[in-house]
Structure 1
Amino acid sequence: MGLARGASSPASTGAQRVSLKDIADELGISQTAVSFAINDRPGVSAETRRRVKEAVAKLGWTPVYAAQALGSSKTMTIGFAPARSAQGLTDETFMLHFMVGVHTSLSPKGYGLLYRPCRSLNEEMSVYRDWASRKRVDGVILVDLRADDPRPKLLKELGVCAVLAGGPDPNNYVPSLSIDDSRTMGTMLKHLSSLGHRRIAYLSGDSNLDYSQGRVSAFRSFAKRRKLESINIEFTNFDAEQAAMLTLEMLRSPKPPTAFIYETEILAAASLHAMAEAYTTRQLETGEGQSAVYPNGLPAIVSFEDSFICEAAYPSITSVHRDASEYGAKVAKLLLKVVAGEQVSGNRRILTPKLVVRDSTARSVAPIE
């Protein structure tokens, strides 16, 4: 990474900029040696590197990234342009914590994050073309891999460095880092099965998303192996009202599910709210001809995402916990390696999720009172 010859101390102090020459004069060495030491490049001794970094801290030197980018043909910017609804972006705590994690890895290296939410996949791809033509970013982070996803190939053709959070990319156009939840659906279903649940519903998000397809496949395989009495699979497109409506419809069926799995905590909480309202006002009579009693008559509820919402709900919601911030930090670190020209493996899996059992699955199946 090239360094600017000048740098600035905090503007509010009005202090004169500290340059590499100032550091070199302070230590009685060349500016080249100072640059090598700051950049951790070979050619200077460990003692010189230590002295330079101490002087940098003492004098308050920081790089001028505009000049740095000009000298190195880098923008010092990483792009993130997820195609999601505005409501989805504001409601999802996982994505917010993911972005915080990305920042924790980018900031120490002097990189900024260019956040450009998009309304559609086509808009997202247009943004990538624009960024590439204007050399606006050094790399991008992809999320939400889809079936026959055109984005990895496009970025490869545009020559834009990229990593995928999720995956893996079946064509290996971009390296990926995915959370290892290959056994997560099985863990959830084993937990529900141990409580006696034989009729289970899964309210997923978007049928085109790679991870949703994987979870549906795991659900079907488990149901077949364990010979569950019945399963229901519905796609909500992450619409909370749709999830709540489908939940109540299923509960009014002749043999309703005794347990529900939701793709996100927002879908789970909205459905729980709808059930609570129907139960407490005696508006819900199950298909088995009995009125439900709140909260004892509630079905078991599990969420694939965890947040304070799951803890604050009544009853609190059993959920799958992932450290989204750590995940974002690791994804950003992987991208920085790609940008630096390092060789990285095609796909890595990390952070095996943990099932956090709360009140919503704390008891075995009992007849509805």
Structure 2
Amino acid sequence: MTQRVGLVLARASQVLGEEPYYHEFIEGLERILTPAGISVLVKVVTDRAAETATYERWSAQQRVGGVILVDLSPGDDRVGLVRRLGLPAVVIGDPSTADGLPTVWTDDAGFAREAVRFLAGRGHTVLGHVSGPLAFAHTQLRRGGFDAEAADLGLTVVNAEGDYSQESGRAATAQVLTGRPTAIVYDSDVMALGGLETIRDADLTVPGDVSVVAWDDSAQCQLAVPALSAMSHDVGRIGEIAADALLDAMRADAADAVYEAPKAHLVERESTR
């Protein structure tokens, strides 16, 4: 077995530097893989073509014994690519994107519905949603769950798309505020931090005028002023499960397996009323 596994992140370096999610995820991977004598090779690229070239090079050079695929789109061609290359792989995402590859699954649509119910229960009737890139399947699932639950409850939704950066959180919040929401949900902690700045610049208060809910619940949520309510995921544990799943895949023990991540739960802090 090659004593190395690969993770390719197609993100702008600035976005990746701001985003705590993958730092926590990689820590979880290493907690399982390092004692097994396996290292994690992380490659940051700017686009999907560079990601494809990385897998092809790793396979030709036998540099990794398996890979973890993230940020998949519906019908993603990376699934077929790793099969053709003979690379054991695990998908982080919905099983519908994996075409039979082992999957570490989180219920993005269900958790988005929970966030809507939480805010509806506090009397909010106009909600903003600042999503991540809509090309990603998990973003589409969150958006679908959010909109469906709001429709079921008779609520109004104002949507905007970001790229997980703080700057995109600022810009998307300015767009959403035109719809006069009394609460906004963000698909990442970093975008929520940018949103706080835009809300303040509009002479609005959190949570007096606008309640804010973030996603993932890194330490940044607790350090923000006010502290951010968040849909809290155990990202480190997701990394551990992904590592176990990849070890199974490298032993050919994980075809079609679905590994369910720990359920997220909403942690209420000062940013919601």
One fold, TM greater than 0.5?
yes
Match for residue 232 of structure 1? 158
Q: Calculate percent identity across the aligned residue pairs.
A: 27
Match for residue 323 of structure 1? 234
Q: Does the 8 Å contact 1:180/1:351 carry over to 2?
A: no
Pair 1:258 & 2:182 matched: yes
Q: Does the 8 Å contact 2:92/2:103 carry over to 1?
A: yes
SS at match of 1:337: helix
| TM-fit CA distance, 1:136 | 1.2
Q: Does the 8 Å contact 2:100/2:255 carry over to 1?
A: no
Deviations 1:244-271 (A, max 9, x none): 13323443x3x51111010101111111
* TM score, norm. by length of structure 1: 0.71
SS at match of 1:302: strand
* TM score, norm. by length of structure 2: 0.94
Q: CA RMSD in A?
A: 1.7
Q: Compared with structure 1, are the counterparts of its residues 328 and 272 closer, same or farther at alpha carbon in structure 2 (3 Å cutoff)? A: same
| TM-fit CA distance, 1:129 | 0.4
Matches within 5 A, 1:1-369: 74-170=1-97, 172-228=99-155, 230-251=156-177, 253=178, 256-279=180-203, 292=204, 294-295=205-206, 297-361=208-272, 363=273
Q: Equivalents in 2 of 1:249, 1:145: separation in Å?
A: 27
Q: Equivalents in 1 of 2:101, 2:237: separation in Å?
A: 21
| Corresponding letter in the other structure for 1:206 | P
Q: Equivalents in 1 of 2:254, 2:191: separation in Å?
A: 40
Deviations 1:74-125 (A, max 9, x none): 3211111111111222111111010011011111111111111111111111
Question: Which protein is bigger by CA-based radius of gyration?
Answer: 1
| TM-fit CA distance, 1:325 | 1.0
Q: Equivalents in 2 of 1:315, 1:309: separation in Å?
A: 11
| TM-fit CA distance, 1:190 | 0.8
| Corresponding letter in the other structure for 1:261 | V
Q: Equivalents in 1 of 2:53, 2:8: separation in Å?
A: 10
Q: Does the 8 Å contact 1:181/1:352 carry over to 2?
A: no
Q: Does the 8 Å contact 1:169/1:175 carry over to 2?
A: no
SS at match of 1:223: helix
Match for residue 45 of structure 1? none
Deviations 1:25-59 (A, max 9, x none): xxxxxxxxxxxxxxxxxxxxxxxxxxxxxxxxxxx
Q: Does the 8 Å contact 1:153/1:173 carry over to 2?
A: no
Q: Compared with structure 1, are the counterparts of its residues 93 and 187 closer, same or farther at alpha carbon in structure 2 (3 Å cutoff)? A: same
Unaligned runs of 5+ in 2: none
Q: Equivalents in 2 of 1:182, 1:277: separation in Å?
A: 31
| Corresponding letter in the other structure for 2:84 | E
Q: Which has the higher contact order (CA 8 A, sep 6+)?
A: 2
Q: Compared with structure 1, are the counterparts of its residues 250 and 179 closer, same or farther at alpha carbon in structure 2 (3 Å cutoff)? A: closer
Q: 1 or 2, which has the higher strand percentage?
A: 2
| TM-fit CA distance, 1:167 | 2.2
Runs of 4+ in 1 over 4 A off after TM superposition: none
Match for residue 50 of structure 1? none
SS at match of 2:217: coil
| TM-fit CA distance, 1:169 | 4.5
SS at match of 1:109: coil
Unaligned runs of 5+ in 1: 1-73, 280-291, 364-369
